[in-house]
Structure 1
Amino acid sequence: MSVGAVAKLSGVTVRTLHHYGEIGLLPAENRNSAGYRQYTTAELDRLSQILYYRELGFPLEEIASLLDDASSNPIEHLNRQHALLSERLRRVQAMIAAVERERNTHMSGIELTAEEKFEIFGQSYDPAYEVEAKQRWSDTQAWAQSSARTATFSKADWQKVKADTDAGNARMVAVFNSGALPGSNEANEIAEEHRASINVFYDCGYDMQVNLAHMYLADERFTKTYEDLAPGLTQWLHDGIIANAKTRNV
């Protein structure tokens, strides 16, 4: 192929190709009858390797050393480039996610202050819970969904969440105190209300809800939340969630 054709194919300028040839990075040994460079398939393969490494930020001298290393082969180059590009992709995706979170926050302009959180959720609010939750679940889809959804919540939205939670807890205690057993229609309705309350933040299927029920018993802080509403409520809610999930063939 002529230098012009290679430039058009690769998106590299003719001047750049000439420069690569002059420094020995991409020599084009063949010439046509008029004395112009002619690139072979092997030289095009070498150009593709050069462009991969350039995209990754390697200096030309280091690229030349890598490609001229007699102990390496094209597969090794591709494996190295794949690993480097994958790592770059991971970093870029993380940066995009961070920028989107910041953008959503600034666009909404409704990030709650610590004082507002205490005002809405009362003395039970502990900032340490947010830090711990982020450490434990920040790499999960549920965390990503919850972050995206709550980024648009206004103070009024959070007040509604608190009011809905209090009302749901009151209904739960009333059904519990009525003697309704886990698996009964009344208990199943409470389990469905509980799942709906989680769906406000992230998609909560029955498997996820069952996992939450187990955590309510395993983590004494969650246990205390429900036990403060009514002694024995945590176990009842746990059993009710599992019984309800079974009726859904989960």
Structure 2
Amino acid sequence: MPDATGADGLTVGQVSTRLGVTVRALHHWDEIGLARPSLRTAAGYRLYTAGDLERLHRIVIYREIGVGLDQIRAILDDSTADVSGALRAQRTQVAERIDRLQRLSAGLDRMIDAHERGLLLTVEQQAAIFGPQWDPEWPAQAHQRYGDTTQWLQYAERSATRGPEEWQAIAGAVADLDRALADAMDAGVAPGSPEANQLVERHREVSASYYPLTRQMQVRLGRMFEADPAFAAHYDGIRAGLATWLRQIIDASARAHNIDPDTATWQ
């Protein structure tokens, strides 16, 4: 629309610029009868008078504090409207939104922290939960090694929602599994047996506390447990040869599910 100026009013474009609202909004308010321009040029262009502009100023103020258009109409046009009550109700809604946004901000902070640190626990809490052999540098090392993987992101998402109690329960489940694995190996449980396969399923369930684990991924983990000195030291520290035995029962279970351990991939 041309921005021609009338002698006694402002065009839609001029009002849009002056009030910082869109021409589309002004057209909408005109269509619903909330703020109609009082004048028209001979060519039919809308012109807003000083009185129209004052009404628009008030509409903009109420819109900025979140008041709905129907409420604004009542405030401006209904002499019996409870303006204070409407504003108090709006203040309550704003306070609720602020609270939600603060909780959202706190959640984002935890998610960022979890992605960068892995564990949202103090060094003291880590030692109390995971034991004296735990190195608080391990999460940072894991982030450096795996931080760009989908599994690290999944781990961080779960970590962001966990506190010491949840981690204590997971650590307990891991310790119970380690004891069960050692006892089964001592008892001569053979790879591929029903008891060994049950332990493999239990291992996959416990490991899934950190991120979803497919059978092929579990095979790759089993191989890493045997080959990586740190993991091998952990399992062999529980029972000599446990790292190899764990790899063997995982491989045997995989074969029962038509997965070739030698060609399994991380997927």
Find the aligned partners of 1:101 and 1:212 in 2 and give their Cα distance: 31
| 2:194 matched residue in structure 1 | 185
Please, which runs of 5 or more residues in structure 2 have no aligned partner? 4-12, 15-105, 114-118, 260-267
1:155: Cα distance to partner? 0.8
| 1:204 matched residue in structure 2 | 213
- Count residues with an aligned counterpart: 157
1:105: Cα distance to partner? 7.1
Find the aligned partners of 1:104 and 1:136 in 2 and give their Cα distance: 19
**Percent identity of equivalent pairs:** 32
| 1:131 matched residue in structure 2 | 140
1:82-231 alignment, distance < 5 Å: 102-104=109-111, 111-231=120-240
Q: Which has the higher helix share?
A: 1
Find the aligned partners of 1:123 and 1:164 in 2 and give their Cα distance: 17
Which one has a bigger Cα radius of gyration?
2
Describe the SS at the equivalent of 2:131: helix
Q: Deviations over 1:38-76 (max 9, x none)?
A: xxxxxxxxxxxxxxxxxxxxxxxxxxxxxxxxxxxxxxx
Asked if the contact 2:191/2:249 (under 8 Å) is kept, the reply is yes
Q: Deviations over 1:209-237 (max 9, x none)?
A: 11111111121110011111111111000
Find the aligned partners of 1:186 and 1:121 in 2 and give their Cα distance: 27
Distance 1:122 1:3, change over 3 A: farther
1:199: Cα distance to partner? 0.7
Distance 1:101 1:195, change over 3 A: farther
Find the aligned partners of 1:3 and 1:216 in 2 and give their Cα distance: 75
1:194: Cα distance to partner? 0.7
Q: Deviations over 1:59-108 (max 9, x none)?
A: xxxxxxxxxxxxxxxxxxxxxxxxxxxxxxxxxxxxxxxx96524479xx
| 1:232 matched residue in structure 2 | 241
Asked if the contact 2:120/2:159 (under 8 Å) is kept, the reply is no
Find the aligned partners of 1:105 and 1:161 in 2 and give their Cα distance: 22
Q: CA RMSD in A?
A: 2.7
Q: Deviations over 1:161-208 (max 9, x none)?
A: 111111111111111111011111111111111111111110100111
Find the aligned partners of 2:225 and 2:176 in 1 and give their Cα distance: 19
Asked if the contact 1:213/1:241 (under 8 Å) is kept, the reply is yes
TM-score (norm 1): 0.57
AA partner of residue 187 (structure 2): S
Find the aligned partners of 1:100 and 1:137 in 2 and give their Cα distance: 23
TM-score (norm 2): 0.54
Describe the SS at the equivalent of 2:120: coil
Please, which runs of 5 or more residues in structure 1 have no aligned partner? 5-13, 16-98
AA partner of residue 228 (structure 1): G
